[in-house]
Amino acid sequence: MAERMGFFTDTSVCIGCKACEVACKEWNDVPDDGFVFRATSYDNTGSLGADTWRHVAFIEQDGRWLMSSDVCKHCTQAACLDVCPTGALFRTEFDTVVVQPDICNGCGYCVPACPYGVIDRRERDGRAWKCTMCYDRLRGGMEPACAKACPTDSIQFGPLDELRERAEARVERLHADGVLEARLYGESPDDGVGGDGAFFLLLDEPETYGLPPDPVVTTRDLPDMWRWAGGAALTLAGAVAVSFLRVSFPRVPFLQASFLRRR
């Protein structure tokens, strides 16, 4: 298997240009997200969703204008993947988490499972969509479209270990320069999701950027549950075989309820 690849988004050099949002859409053929003036600084796409896989947040503070490009975190322990009953979500050879649109049946279990609120169903086709870290480009040895476009290298792509080292050095440098509020988010393997494959250098509390301060994988007791879910799914195989063709899936109430309980 290839090395684990990831994103390091250094918001201290983000200029809020949104090249990442557009380059992502051009490459991945993501539809527009509507034309809504939100009056929330320069942000008019609102949040990550099925039709926005990179999202630049603008936070206006006294004398500061923070900008940060958010993206799927490609968690080490990815709840979306754990709960996906069809295997549409899978972990790639780069240790990234990807939805396969040809498998996804739009059940939507992954949506509430995500501790970051990233993955989302597209209204137009019902399926779940999110950042793939440009899985197809990675397979060809290319970097993801957003990282390539980023004018200031705020979005860096590479082997996760290398990125973590680079990020540590960057924080040290900023601290030495007096930017004491610089901190990393999502880089620690010891956090509630086992560390993110896409982590960030922030200049304020995570909540300021709309990020959960202490995300926890919603499927902590996964191994037991996965077997349970598999068995449950098998018992429904007959029904599934019929409904699969209609790209829908019967709800599995007990499964969903267990996730809700954990959130």
Partner 1 sequence: MAECHPVGYQWVMEARDRGAKVFHIDPHFTRTSATVDRYLPIRAGTDIVLLGALINHVLANELDFREYVLAYTNAATIISARYRDTEDLDGLFSGFDPETRRYDPASWSYEGDEPGEGEPREGGIRHAEAAGSDSYGARGAGASAQPPADPTLRHPRCVYQILKRHFARYTPERVAELCGISEEEFAELAEAITANSGRERTTAWVYSVGWTQHSVGVQYIRAASILQLLLGNMGRPGGGIMALRGHASIQGSTDIPTLFNLLPGYIAMPHALRHDGLDHYLEQEGADTGYWGNRRSYLVSLLKAWWGDAATEDNDFCFGYLPRLTGDHSHYATVMGQIDGTVKGYFVVGENPAVGSANGKAQRLGLANLDWLVVRDLTLVETATFWKDAPELETGELRTEDIGTEVFFMPAASHVEKEGTFTNTQRLLQWREKALDPPGDCRSDLWFYYHLGKLIRQRLGGDRIDRPVMELTWDYPEEGEHREPSAAAVLREINGTGPDGRALSSLRQLKPDGSTTCGCWIYCGVYAGEVNQAARRRPGSEQSWIAPEWGWAWPANRRILYNRASADPDGRPWSERKAYVWWDADKGLWTGLDIPDFDEHMPPDYRPPEGARAEAALAGTDPFIMQSDGKGWLFVPSGLSDGPLPAHYEPHESPVPNTLYGQRANPARRILDRPENPYNPPMSSRFPYVFTTYRLTEHHTAGGMSRPLPYLAELQPAPFCEVSPRLAAEVGLVNGGWATIVTARTAIELRVLVTERVRPLRIAGKVVHQIGVPYHWGYGGGGMVTGDVPNDLMPIVLDPNVFIQESKAGTCDILPGRRPHGRALLDLIERYRHG
Partner 2 sequence: MADGGWLSRWPVIRQLKGEDGRREAARSARTDVLRPRVEEADSVARSVCPYCAVGCGQLVYVKDGKVSQIEGDPDSPISRGRLCPKGSASKQLVTHPGRQTHVLYRRPYGTHWQRLDLETAMDMIADRVVRTRRETWQQTHDGKEVRRTLGIASLGGATLDNEENYLMKKLYTALGAIQVENQARI
Nearest C-alpha neighbor of 68 from the set 54, 79, 84: 54
- By the rule CB under 8 A, 142 interacts with partner 2: yes
Nearest C-alpha neighbor of 19 from the set 67, 72, 86, 65: 67
Among 2, 3, 87, 152, binds partner 1 (CB under 8 A): 152
d(CA 171, CA 210): 21
Map the footprint of partner 2 across residues 219-238, applying CB under 8 A. Answer: 226, 230, 233-234, 237
Backbone angles phi, psi at 108, to 5 degrees: 85, 10
Nearer to partner 1 by Cβ, of 15 and 234: the residue is: 15
Among 4, 18, 73, 164, binds partner 1 (CB under 8 A): 18
d(CA 191, CA 182): 18
Per the DSSP assignment, residues forming a β-bridge with 201 are 10, 184
Tell me how far CA of residue 230 lies from CA of 54, 71, 95, 222, in angstroms.
32, 30, 22, 12
Task: Select the binding partner of residue 60 from partner 2, partner 1, none (C-beta < 5 to 8 A, by kind).
Answer: partner 1
Task: Select the binding partner of residue 257 from partner 2, partner 1, none (C-beta < 5 to 8 A, by kind).
Answer: none
d(CA 204, CA 219): 28
Task: Select the binding partner of residue 86 from partner 2, partner 1, none (C-beta < 5 to 8 A, by kind).
Answer: partner 2
d(CA 12, CA 230): 44
Nearer to partner 1 by Cβ, of 5 and 174: the residue is: 174
Nearer to partner 2 by Cβ, of 122 and 183: the residue is: 122
Count of residues engaged in binding partner 2, rule: CB under 8 A: 40
Residue span binding partner 1 (CB under 8 A) among the ranges 37-45, 78-86, 127-135, 225-233: 37-45
- By the rule CB under 8 A, 16 interacts with partner 1: yes
Q: Please report how close the Cβ of residue 235 comes to partner 2 at its closest, in angstroms.
A: 11
* Interface positions with partner 1 (CB under 8 A): 13, 15-19, 21-22, 25-26, 31-39, 41-42, 44-45, 60, 62, 64-67, 151-153
- Binding residues (CB under 8 A) for partner 2: these are 17-19, 21-23, 26-27, 81-82, 85-91, 98, 100, 102-103, 134-137, 139-140, 142, 145, 148-151, 226, 230, 233-234, 237, 240-241
